Amino acid sequence: MVLRAAGRGRRTLVLVMAGVLLAFAIALPAAAEAATLTVDSPSDEADLAPGGGCATAAGKCTLRAAIEEANAAVGGGDEIVFDEDVFDGGSAGTITLEGNLPPLVKQAVIKGGSCMTDAAVEGPCVAVDGTDSGPVFEIKADHAKVEGIDIFSASSGISLEGAQGFEVRGNWFGLRLDGHAESAGVAFGVQVGPGSADGQIGGKEPKDGNLFANGYDGLEIIGGSRISILGNRFGFGPGGSLSEAFGTSKAITIVSTPSFEAADNVVGASLDAAALATPACDGGCNLIAESEYSIELAWEGYEPAVNTTVIGNQLGIDATGTGWAQNGHGISGGAGTTVGGFRAGDGNRINGGGSAISCGGPDLTIVGNQIGVNASGAALFHPASDGITVWDEKVSAPADEALIADNIIGLDGGTGIDERGLGATIVDNVIVGAASGLILSEANAGHGSLVEGNLIEETRYAGMMIGNDFNEVLGNEVLESGFGGIEILGWDDVPVTGNQIGGDSPEDENVISFSGQDAIVFGGAAGGENEVARNRGTANEGLFIRLAPPNWGSLPQNGGVEPPDISSTTVTGIAGSAEPGARIRVFRKEGDEPGEVEGFLGEAVADFGGAWEIGYAPLPGGTFVAATQTNVEGGTSELAIARTPGGTEGTPEGGSTGGSRPSPRPARTPAADTTPPQTKLGKVRFKGRGAVFRFGSSEQGSSFQCRLDAGRFRACGSPKRYRRLTAGRHRFEARAVDVAGNVDSTPVRRSFAVPRGHR
**Per-residue pLDDT tens over the stretch 223-281:** 999 999 999 999 999 988 888 777 789 999 999 999 999 999 999 999 999 999 999 99
> Has this prediction a pTM greater than 0.95?
no
Dihedral, CA of residue 14, residue 16, residue 20 and residue 25, to nearest 10 = 50
Please report which confidence band the pLDDT of residue 647 belongs to, taking 50, 70 and 90 as the band edges. low
Mean pLDDT calculated for residue range 385-389: 96
Residue 591 lies in a domain: yes
Mean pLDDT calculated for residue range 609-617: 96
321 and 343 in a single domain? The answer is yes
Residues 625, 748 share a domain: no
The chain-wide mean pLDDT, for the chain, equals 88
- Span between the terminal Cα atoms of the chain, in Å: 73
Q: Please give the pLDDT value at position 11.
A: 38
Q: What is the pLDDT of residues 292-336, one digit of tens each?
A: 999 999 998 999 999 999 999 999 999 999 998 999 999 999 889
Q: Would you say residue 547 lies in a domain? A: no
Same domain, 734 and 748: yes
Specify whether 235 is located in the same domain as 111: no
Say yes or no: 37 and 181 in one domain: yes
Look at residue 558 and tell me if it is in a domain.
no
Domain count, the chain: 4
Residue 613 is part of a domain; what is its CATH number?
2.60.40.10
Examine residue 103 and state whether it is found in any structural domain, yes or no.
Answer: yes
Is residue 264 in a domain?
Answer: yes
- Residues 187 and 87 placed together within one structural domain of the fold: yes
Do 694 and 609 fall into the same domain?
no
Which of 621, 643, 665 is the last residue before a domain boundary?
643
CA distance 280 to 374: 11
Based on the domain organization, do 331 and 226 belong to the same domain?
Answer: yes
User: How many angstroms separate the CA atoms of 273 and 342, rounded?
Assistant: 15
Q: Which residues contact 596 (CB under 8 A, 6 or more apart)?
A: 537, 538, 539, 540, 544, 589, 590
For residue 82, give its domain range: 33-192
Q: How many residues does the chain have?
A: 759
* pLDDT tens digits, one per residue of 79-129: 999 999 999 999 999 999 999 999 999 999 999 999 999 999 999 999 999
* Sheet strands (E) in 78-117: 78-82, 94-96, 108-111, 114-116
Which comes out higher in pLDDT, residue 704 or 399? 704
CA-CA distance, 353 to 250, in Å (whole number)? 13
Same domain? 285 vs 162:
no
So what's the pLDDT on residue 33?
74
pLDDT of 555 > 60? The answer is yes
pLDDT in tens, 209-219: 999 999 999 99
Please say if the pLDDT value at position 68 is more than 60. Answer: yes
- Among 331, 353, 375, the domain-final residue is 353
**161 and 46 co-located in one domain:** yes
610 and 583 within one domain = yes
Q: What is residue 714's three-state secondary structure?
A: strand
What is residue 399's predicted lDDT score, i.e. its pLDDT? 67
Residues near 742 by beta carbon (within 8 Å), at least 6 away in sequence: 673, 674, 675, 676, 677
> Is the residue at 454 inside a domain?
no
326-361 b/e (C-beta count within 10 Å ≥ 16 → b)? bbbbbbbbbbbbbbbbbeebbbbbbbbbbbbbbbbb
Locate the DSSP E strands across 570-702. Answer: 573-577, 583-588, 599-605, 611-615, 624-630, 640-643, 679-687, 690-697
Residue 163 forms part of a structural domain? yes
3-state secondary structure of 233: strand
Same domain flag for 687 and 720: yes
The closest alpha carbon to 576, from 627, 542, 531, 507, belongs to: 627
SS3 207: helix
For residue 543, the tally of other CB atoms under 10 A from its CB is: 23
Q: Considering the domain boundaries, does residue 273 fall inside one?
A: yes
Domain termination residue (choose one: 594, 622, 643)? 643
Angle (CA) 307-309-310 rounded to 5° is 145
Give the whole-angstrom CA distance, residue 74 versus residue 81.
19
